[in-house]
Amino acid sequence: INTGARSALSGITRAFILMIVVLGAGSLTAQIPMAVLAGISLQVGIKIIDWGFLKRAHNISWKSAMIMYGVIGLTVFVDLIAAVGIGVFVANVLTIDRLTQIKSEDVKAITDADDAIILDNDEKELLDRAEGRILLFHLSGPMIFGVSKAISRQHTLLNNYEVLIVDLSEVPHMGVTSALAIENAIQETVDTGRHVFLVGAAGSVKRRLEKLGVLEIVPPQNMLMDRRQALVNAVALVTSDANINSTNAKVTNETRPSFDNLQIGQNP
């Protein structure tokens, strides 16, 4: 049966004829010599080989070439089913690794307006006013499980901040491992007495965070949909904390006893 037809009807016809042969004509096909069946299999095998790709495989990608040659070797010396299964598994692993590398570039930890992210003028001004005390954790695109390493790595690189803003406004989908990585970053920030804002969590992303209990860690007033408003609130927090520290330092200096006018041998 020639499989070179172009419509879906050809596949249906081929499957129907093979079913008839297997179920109703088994006694007839049993009389076919094994040599004939081997010749048919050899002809079909040669026909399905993509000779054009086989000649250029080593020039396109060495990983693809290794997978192809490995599948060919397993097919000849082991088993066709095992070869296909192992080939598909290895190809999927390499694809996921490549996607992880690409998506890791969408995880950015930002402390000032000079970092690589598109911000409007108001947001840049707000970040500049914070003087590095605000960490804007910006994520974009689907967050697959491999991105969790990038999330953890970016968070551990920067610890000198007072307010963490997790921006999920450009994330349409989030995997479980990525959500757990975000939870760890938020929990660590809260445990150290710092503030956390969650921006843009909506749809399936919000439901995922709700199921994992991440939203219970963040105060309700700190869950916003607008990044600019989160920056405004964060700047207000770091500014008020700075004023409080300045006031406490001033009071301490004023109440500290002065010994400048005391003479040696005199009691204060």
Judge if 109 and 99 occupy the same domain: no
Judge if 81 and 140 occupy the same domain: no
Judge if 77 and 195 occupy the same domain: no
Are residues 139 and 107 in contact, defined by beta-carbon separation less than 8 angstroms?
Answer: yes
Q: Does some domain include residue 153?
A: yes
Q: Which of 229, 170, 164 is nearest to 202 (CA)?
A: 170
- Residue 126 to residues 99, 121, 221, 245, Cα–Cα distance (Å): 33, 9, 19, 21
Q: Does some domain include residue 132?
A: yes
pLDDT at 197 over 90: yes
pLDDT at 226 over 80: yes
Judge if 98 and 115 occupy the same domain: no
Judge if 194 and 146 occupy the same domain: yes
Q: Which of 191, 184, 237 is nearest to 209 (CA)?
A: 184
Question: Last residue of some domain: 104, 126, 145?
Answer: 104
Are residues 141 and 103 in contact, defined by beta-carbon separation less than 8 angstroms?
Answer: yes
Query: CB within 8 A of 230, min separation 6: which ones?
Result: 165, 167, 197, 199, 222, 224
Distance CA 148, CA 175 (A): 9
Amino acid sitting at position 70: G
Judge if 125 and 222 occupy the same domain: yes
Note down the domain range covering 94.
50-104
Judge if 182 and 67 occupy the same domain: no
pLDDT-derived band of residue 75, with 50, 70 and 90 as boundaries?
A: confident
Mean pLDDT check: name the lowest of 49-58, 215-224, 259-268.
Answer: 259-268
Residue 185: enclosing H or E segment and its boundaries?
helix 176-191
Mean pLDDT, the chain, as a whole number?
78
pLDDT at 255 over 90: no
Q: Does some domain include residue 93?
A: yes
Q: Does some domain include residue 136?
A: yes
CATH of the domain at 203: 3.30.750.24
Judge if 85 and 142 occupy the same domain: no
Are residues 198 and 224 in contact, defined by beta-carbon separation less than 8 angstroms?
Answer: yes
Judge if 123 and 192 occupy the same domain: yes
Are residues 181 and 151 in contact, defined by beta-carbon separation less than 8 angstroms?
Answer: yes
Distance CA 41, CA 33 (A): 13
- Tell me the two tokens of residue 131: 């003087």
Q: Does some domain include residue 8?
A: no
Question: Last residue of some domain: 104, 127, 150?
Answer: 104
Question: Last residue of some domain: 104, 139, 174?
Answer: 104
Judge if 126 and 226 occupy the same domain: yes
Q: Does some domain include residue 178?
A: yes
Q: Does some domain include residue 89?
A: yes
Q: Does some domain include residue 133?
A: yes
Q: Strand, helix or coil at 169?
A: strand
Cα dihedral 181, 187, 188, 194 in deg (nearest 10): 130
Mean pLDDT of 143-166: 75
pTM over cut 0.85: no
Residue-level pLDDT at 66: 86
The domain tally of the chain equals: 2
Judge if 233 and 121 occupy the same domain: yes
Largest Cα–Cα separation, the chain: 125
pLDDT at 1 over 50: no
Judge if 62 and 163 occupy the same domain: no
How deeply is 109 buried, as exposed, middle or buried, from its count of CB atoms within 10 A (0-12, 13-18, 19+)? buried
